[in-house]
Structure 1
Amino acid sequence: MLEDGHGRRFYYLRLSVTDVCNFRCDYCLPDGYRASHNLPDLSVAEASTVMRAFAQLGTRKVRLSGGEPSLRKDLPELILAAAKTPGIRRVAVTSNGYKLPGVIDAWQQNGLDQLNISIDSLDAAEFARITGHDCLPKILTGIDRALELGVQTKVNAVLLSDGAQPRLQQFLGWLKTTPVTLRFIELMQTGDNRDYFASNHLRGADIESQLIENGWQLLPRPIDAGPAREYVHPDYAGRIGLITPYSKDFCNSCNRLRISAQGKLHLCLFSDAGLDLRETIRTSDADALAEKVRALIGNKEVSHYLQQGNTGGTQNLSIIGG
């Protein structure tokens, strides 16, 4: 089992397959995607080597992320490669859902277990303003199809201070009958969004207090789960999760590592730079790659230091998939 110097064990790999995104979300890429390098993304074979190496180290869950992973035409092949990796028990994809109705069947057939879709508002006009795309009904149709196929589905919503309460009420109404997990994620400061963060940050603890007051109950957290604290309520078909990276001791439960689409190991979302593994990945030697990762894990810091205003090398979240 892969363990760092602070006693944390890592069951969960977030593997970015591209840093390209077709949305222009206010808090991430308000001016749209701009290439910052000319390096190729990991091929399916290279990604498979990465997943085999991490599986040897105890990883049980792989999440394919971006950017927007559906922009890769071979994403179904990547999902299949993950599903066929010995030791990997759960395969997940995080997407903006733009292509979802046309691709979800193939994803599920190739082994997708879990889907996360980003929806910051259920108001179609507000959604279009935030993302730059007027496509919310299409995304909701894709979610309905994912649920029909039995894919565990979660919806990510970034907490924004302006209009937070009306958005919360809309989401609660939706969760009455929709069996998804809605995860509220605190807005995080990155190198590109400092002013936006200062104007729009809302503490997740404020929403969490409301939920507890209204009868929502905290669930136990599986060892390969993400960082959310999930709540259930007997009157709701859906669940609510809170991801609060500015809360005390948030990093104590860290169980995930990240590989960028260019083959760099990021020990933290907010580390100063990725550790280049591309040459080892290209050898197709999963054993050698596993040993290299094991040697590097000792460099993982105890915290992301977001509370001190640290953003590391993360200019925006599309770079390594949040």
Structure 2
Amino acid sequence: MPQRAPTVDPGRVPDSELEDRFGRRFAYLRLSITDVCNFRCEYCLPDGYQGKPTGFLNRDEIQRLVSAFAELGIRKLRITGGEPLVRKDALAILADAAATPGIEKLALTTNAFNLAAQAEALRDAGLSAVNISLDSLDRQGFERITGDKRHEKVLAGVDAAIAAGIPSVKINTVLLGGLNDQEIPDFMEYVRERPVAVRFIELMQTADNGDYFRRRHVSGQTVADRLQAAGWSPMQRGETDGPAVEYSHPDYAGRIGLIAPYAPGFCDGCNRLRVTARGGLRLCLFGNGTHDLRPLLQDEADKAALKRSICQTLVGKEVSHHLHEGDFGDTPHLASTGG
């Protein structure tokens, strides 16, 4: 449910190191370790990855970054991409992060192209949550949306994550008019016996998907209305939870969630920061510019300066995105910043 809007006070002196001038505190970091993705989702990378797969933070730089953020109060870390598991050292990066003092919850977002083979190793590395991108339960629908034929492998990855005992297993489904919005009842049935959460994500406009957005955007309110009409009830949001409003039902083992960035009050409870795969601190997914932290990641002796730089940059965080005004910042596509 929308939370109380933060008080706008540009002159506010934060009470804690990771608090912005509107009184919002940040305990959740989303860290991209690559912008490479091996799927061709038509809402994100319809022509496939076109960047240069070089220059990403190395394992030592990542660990210095994670340690500094943990000392500033980050308790939940999500490793994202692109597709993070295309990195050969992804498992080692996750194990390093899980062993970092202060990190209480380690999460991963993946398209699950190889999750079935890696689920137990990821659990053993300390992974406590996995979010799996799955935009259709139908094989043909999946292939149409993702440009990939590994539908069965993705479904097997969901079941493998559950079987491995990873504590939190969630599915991310981008809601697309005329492509998968008719599958909402199917996803409800999918969680009847499975202890997973399916979260429908409202399609967001970026720099390169304007025409597609206008054709396929469906308001998240349509999902909320259907859930409540079917007897689902919204759940309380935790301090380190992401932006989803999750719904439960006594007859279902799983949950249904909704991420609706165009809903009123969406930014009020913002609790997360983002760092790109090359070390750029982004204060908002749909903001402009990044603050380069990489020069301060070369030596452990720079940690104090790194933490000061993070805190000073946070002062510039705005109260809200400007998606309602058609301003999506300088985000070209979601794979570029980890979503």
Do the aligned partners of 1:11 and 1:59 also contact (CA within 8 Å) in 2?
Answer: yes
Which deviates more from structure 2 when the two are superposed, residues 284-293 or residues 97-106? 284-293
User: What one-letter code is carried by the residue in structure 2 that aligns with 1:52?
Assistant: S
1:44 lines up with 2:59 in the alignment: yes
Name the SS for the 2:79 alignment partner. Answer: strand
1:126-145 equivalences in 2 (<5 Å): 126-145=141-160
1:81 lines up with 2:89 in the alignment: no
- In structure 1, the partner of 2:40 is 24
1:222 lines up with 2:203 in the alignment: no
Do the aligned partners of 2:110 and 2:133 also contact (CA within 8 Å) in 1?
Answer: yes
Do the aligned partners of 1:14 and 1:64 also contact (CA within 8 Å) in 2?
Answer: yes
Name the SS for the 2:169 alignment partner. Answer: strand
1:106 lines up with 2:153 in the alignment: no
Partners of 2:186 and 2:91 lie apart in 1 by: 33
Partners of 1:268 and 1:281 lie apart in 2 by: 22
For residue 122 of structure 1, the aligned residue among 123, 132, 137 is 137
1:286-305 equivalences in 2 (<5 Å): 286-305=303-322
Do the aligned partners of 1:258 and 1:265 also contact (CA within 8 Å) in 2?
Answer: yes
Deviations 1:29-78 (A, max 9, x none): 0000001x575111111111111111111110000000000000111111
For residue 326 of structure 2, the aligned residue among 309, 314, 317 is 309
1:58 lines up with 2:44 in the alignment: no
Change (3 A) 1:161 1:43: same
Do the aligned partners of 2:175 and 2:181 also contact (CA within 8 Å) in 1?
Answer: no
**Structure 1 runs of 4+ off > 6 angstroms?**
none
- In structure 1, the partner of 2:256 is 240
- In structure 1, the partner of 2:211 is 195
User: What one-letter code is carried by the residue in structure 2 that aligns with 1:70?
Assistant: L
| Offset at residue 109 of structure 1 (A) | 0.7
Partners of 1:198 and 1:293 lie apart in 2 by: 36
Partners of 2:180 and 2:47 lie apart in 1 by: 24
| Offset at residue 155 of structure 1 (A) | 0.1
Partners of 1:143 and 1:38 lie apart in 2 by: 28
| Offset at residue 165 of structure 1 (A) | 4.4
Partners of 1:228 and 1:295 lie apart in 2 by: 28
> TM-score scaled by structure 1?
0.97
Name the SS for the 1:206 alignment partner. Answer: helix
Deviations 1:273-311 (A, max 9, x none): 111111011223333211110011011111111111111
User: What one-letter code is carried by the residue in structure 2 that aligns with 1:302?
Assistant: V
Do the aligned partners of 1:39 and 1:262 also contact (CA within 8 Å) in 2?
Answer: no
Name the SS for the 2:277 alignment partner. Answer: coil
Identity level (%): 47
Do the aligned partners of 2:188 and 2:256 also contact (CA within 8 Å) in 1?
Answer: no
- In structure 1, the partner of 2:31 is 15
Partners of 1:64 and 1:129 lie apart in 2 by: 27
Deviations 1:151-200 (A, max 9, x none): 11000000111144431121111111111000000000000100000000
Name the SS for the 2:236 alignment partner. Answer: coil
User: What one-letter code is carried by the residue in structure 1 that aligns with 2:85?
Assistant: S
- In structure 2, the partner of 1:6 is 22
Name the SS for the 1:318 alignment partner. Answer: helix
Partners of 1:116 and 1:286 lie apart in 2 by: 30
Do the aligned partners of 2:141 and 2:180 also contact (CA within 8 Å) in 1?
Answer: no
> TM-score scaled by structure 2?
0.93
Do the aligned partners of 2:35 and 2:53 also contact (CA within 8 Å) in 1?
Answer: no
Alignment RMSD (CA, Å) = 1.1
Name the SS for the 1:157 alignment partner. Answer: strand
Which deviates more from structure 2 when the two are superposed, residues 56-65 or residues 141-150? 141-150
Partners of 1:64 and 1:119 lie apart in 2 by: 18
Partners of 1:30 and 1:289 lie apart in 2 by: 37
Gaps of at least 5 residues in structure 1 are none
Gaps of at least 5 residues in structure 2 are 1-15
Name the SS for the 2:329 alignment partner. Answer: coil
- In structure 2, the partner of 1:157 is 173
Partners of 2:125 and 2:20 lie apart in 1 by: 33
1:318 lines up with 2:335 in the alignment: yes
Name the SS for the 1:87 alignment partner. Answer: coil
Partners of 2:113 and 2:134 lie apart in 1 by: 11
* Aligned residue-pair number: 321
